[in-house]
Chains A and B, each alone.
Chain A
Amino acid sequence: MSNNSSAELHGIIAEYHTVEEILAAAETVREAGYTRWDCHTPMPVHGLDRAMGVRETRLPWVVLIAGLTGGGLGVLMQWWMNAIDYNYRISGKPDWSLPANIPVAFETTVLFAAFAAFFAMWIANGLPRWFNPLSRNARFARATDDRFFVAIQASDPMFDQDATAAMLSSSGAHAVETVEEPDETSRPPAVFRGAVWSLVSLAMLPLFLVAMARYNTSDKPRVHLVPDMDFAKRIKAQAVSDLFADGRGTRPPVAGTFALEDMEAVGADPAYYTGKLGDSFVTDFPLEVTPELMQRGQERFGIYCAVCHGDDGRGKGMVAQRAAVLSPATWVAPTDLHTQPVVDLASGQLFDSISNGVRNMPGYSSQISYQDRWAIVLYTRALQRSQAASAQDIPEGVNLR
């Protein structure tokens, strides 16, 4: 036993050779009433926790609560994004629909639970710690190899150098040694600290660059990280292309083109299929007006038109709002459907605009069936009417507030 009284005492370690010995020793120490001590073994030893009287871990509760919190926050986040901040109808699903949230909520559950387990383990184990005084002891090195140790800290209220050492010797220890607090400070060496600080500062750099780029303008071309994706060889719809003599990227169909299957039908009922009779647009509605058709029109309008024209048709749809911000110079705003010229359009012309597009608006004949196009015309008419209603339109007996 070395007994260097000049340095401060960290504690006493005792060495054992077998699992049975360390289990017996752990029981002795526990029964003696020590509280600030630990066992160090080269492999997990079953029953050691029990012998030491270690309380059952509360980690599972931490993980459970963190997991539930993560799941809850995951749903909350998506609710706020989808239903409040940027509510945007996607493929006819409600703005906020739980099934779509489950994968993300599942991930946030796992994420929170895993992080909670990881960091709670740090806290429970007193990490991060630069080093442990025990690791300075030569004998103790075999704790990772083939020896078992009990270490009692000098800070334990029961600690008494001689009595504790005697107790350990009598517990069957093969060797008992004191361990001093090291003289040096336990701060990491300057090189290490320097390295950490430089890494941290370097890690901030991208953030600064991003922040700078956000608040500055530059006349240099932007950096393209994936050039062949940014400059893919493709022709954008509605854009200029020098590939064709007329410079149009979007190719108009050859004059007089019809889908084969439609040919007969179109001949038989041109008003229905083209919105035209001869050269003039039809003004009557070619279908029977039913509540179902109106509802269908409302639904289709919501899916195909509202993104640009807005639910109310005033031209303030989500795409229009975004495009107005992103490319204010080139974006042509969708027409307000309540302006007089649009209200005065013949039904057939509305149908034609949906089918073939009009100026900057693309045609929808490939996505929307004939009947649905008429349903949208019908609904557009109702929408226009609703926005131009007067007091006379209110049925009798309905109270105005």
Chain B
Amino acid sequence: MNPVNVNREPVLAPDLAARVSRVGLVLAVLGLGAGFALGAAEGDNLRHFFWAYLVGFAFFFTFTLGGLFFVLVQHVTGAKWSVSVRRMGEFAMNTVPALGIMAIPLLYPLLTNAGREEFGGLLWPWVQPHGEHADLVAMKEPFLNVPFFIGRMVFYLLVWWLMARFFMKRSLQQDTDRDPAYAPTIAMRKLSAPGIIVFALTLSFASFDWLMSTAPEWFSTIFGVYIFAGCVLTIHAWLVISSVFLQKQGYMKKEVNAEHYHDLGKFMTAFTVFWAYIAFSQFMLIWYANLPEETGFFHSRTTEAWKTMSYLLIVTNFFVPFFGFLSRHVKRKPKMLAMWAVYVLIVHWLDLYWLVMPSMSPESNPFGLIEVATTIGAFGLFLWAFARQGVRHSVLAYGDPKLGDCLAHENY
């Protein structure tokens, strides 16, 4: 509670950042390369590879969008507690260009003829409606058609890129300009409210497009919120991991303390519950109404090959982390919290895997090296784009006027 003398010095870690981003690049090349090689070896026209790639892509995308949401919500609420970790959130949101690079290969399954006859498409089965429900899927053609789909994809990425740039630029201006009228701070605050609306809509529709349309005859309006829950969990876990890592390397020792970890932990607890709440809301309405066009999704996931995994997810993604995070002591011990954060990222990935893969292979769980490799690759690409920014920029938003409040922050 003593007023903290704010020492407005940048925290620069260019060598560390360069090293981490190199590791990221190596992981990306090796992971995606190995995934591709394994996929090509399966001789299924890369079908399995592309589905696994989509899971990795979704994993990457939840980091970026989680970062964007984190930054937006700090500005819209005028949050003080988070200033010292916000720059890491900004780094995460500012990985949109790399996400765009990762989206390019996804054009292949949209444009090639391979797999159209048999599966309706290599990846998204609506590319050419086929099979039992072809007529239903065909009716969605005005929305689910290749040119419009690609257009939307470009649109989402463009919007996110513009938003990320806007907030990144203003945040850096706070550091260097020290404008006594706080122009960049106010600009960010103003744009954050409409920004959240744009975020909500684009995230929701991107989730519909990229993930939900892997089961094109199915629909759930809450689906975007479900993905959103994963994004928020992911970014808080990631902030914990990066802060603990930086501190271990000797940076930001004072700037991030037990109080900040405590708050990050609270958000992970809250969003663990939120995830369960949304997941159950989605399930219960469909289960109760029992309408044929809605139940397919859960039917394939709660019978035969996927049954065990579905029930397991309830335990791994809700009960374990919920009781794990419940205690105040866990949230205030950085190393322990970081271990839980890694756990959260792993189970979040399992969740994405469970959302996507049963649509490719309802009869059997195809889990194998190929999923692991592509996901490591996707994560590596994210890590590269994330850490590269640390080479040029301070990892602390040291010019934010609320930094002093942040450092003095205490939980009651």
Binding site for B on A (CB under 8 A): 19, 44-47, 60, 64, 91-93, 99-100, 102-103
Docked CA distance A102–B410 (Å) = 36
Task: Confirm or deny: B182 has a beta carbon within 8 angstroms of a beta carbon on chain A.
Answer: no
**Contact of B1 with A102 in the complex, beta carbons under 8 Å:** no
**Contact of B284 with A64 in the complex, beta carbons under 8 Å:** no
Q: A99-B284, A102-B284 are in contact. Are A92 and B290 (CB under 8 A)?
A: yes
**Contact of B410 with A46 in the complex, beta carbons under 8 Å:** yes
Residue of A nearest to B280 (CB): A102
Docked CA distance A47–B327 (Å) = 20
Which residues of chain B (258-300) have a CB below 8 Å from chain A?
A: 280, 283-284, 287-288, 290
**Contact of A44 with B412 in the complex, beta carbons under 8 Å:** yes
**Contact of B284 with A103 in the complex, beta carbons under 8 Å:** yes
Determine the chain A residues whose CB is within 8 A of the CB of B287 once the complex forms. Answer: 99
Residue of A nearest to B284 (CB): A99
Docked CA distance A263–B292 (Å) = 28
Contact among A19, A60, A64, A92 with B1 in the assembled complex (CB-CB below 8 Å): A19
**Contact of A99 with B412 in the complex, beta carbons under 8 Å:** no
Docked CA distance A46–B411 (Å) = 9
Determine the chain B residues whose CB is within 8 A of the CB of A100 once the complex forms. Answer: 284, 288
Determine the chain B residues whose CB is within 8 A of the CB of A103 once the complex forms. Answer: 284
Task: Confirm or deny: B326 has a beta carbon within 8 angstroms of a beta carbon on chain A.
Answer: yes
Docked CA distance A19–B412 (Å) = 16
Candidate in B1, B284, B328 with the most chain A CB atoms within 10 angstroms? B1
Interface size on B, residues (CB 8 A): 12
Docked CA distance A99–B284 (Å) = 7
Residue of B nearest to A19 (CB): B1
Determine the chain B residues whose CB is within 8 A of the CB of A47 once the complex forms. Answer: 1
Docked CA distance A103–B280 (Å) = 9
Instruction: Give the Cβ gap from B303 to chain A, nearest Cβ, in Å.
Output: 15
Instruction: Give the Cβ gap from A42 to chain B, nearest Cβ, in Å.
Output: 13
Instruction: Give the Cβ gap from B324 to chain A, nearest Cβ, in Å.
Output: 14
Docked CA distance A46–B328 (Å) = 16
Shortest beta-carbon contacts, A-B, top 8 = A46-B410, A46-B1, A99-B287, A99-B284, A44-B412, A102-B280, A19-B1, A91-B290
Docked CA distance A201–B300 (Å) = 59
**Contact of B410 with A99 in the complex, beta carbons under 8 Å:** no
Docked CA distance A325–B326 (Å) = 51
Residue-by-residue, is B83-104 near A (CB-CB < 8 Å gives 1, otherwise 0)? 0000000000000000000000
Docked CA distance A39–B367 (Å) = 60
Docked CA distance A19–B410 (Å) = 15
Determine the chain B residues whose CB is within 8 A of the CB of A92 once the complex forms. Answer: 290
Docked CA distance A368–B283 (Å) = 28
Instruction: Give the Cβ gap from B275 to chain A, nearest Cβ, in Å.
Output: 14
Residue-by-residue, is B40-60 near A (CB-CB < 8 Å gives 1, otherwise 0)? 000000000000000000000
Docked CA distance A67–B220 (Å) = 31
Contacts A100-B288, A102-B280 aside, 18 further interface pairs with beta carbons under 8 A come to A19-B1, A44-B412, A45-B1, A46-B1, A46-B412, A47-B1, A60-B327, A60-B328, A91-B288, A91-B290, A92-B290, A93-B288, A99-B283, A99-B284, A99-B287, A100-B284, A102-B284, A103-B284
**Contact of B290 with A64 in the complex, beta carbons under 8 Å:** no
Instruction: Give the Cβ gap from A90 to chain B, nearest Cβ, in Å.
Output: 9
Determine the chain A residues whose CB is within 8 A of the CB of B283 once the complex forms. Answer: 99
Instruction: Give the Cβ gap from A17 to chain B, nearest Cβ, in Å.
Output: 15
Instruction: Give the Cβ gap from B285 to chain A, nearest Cβ, in Å.
Output: 10
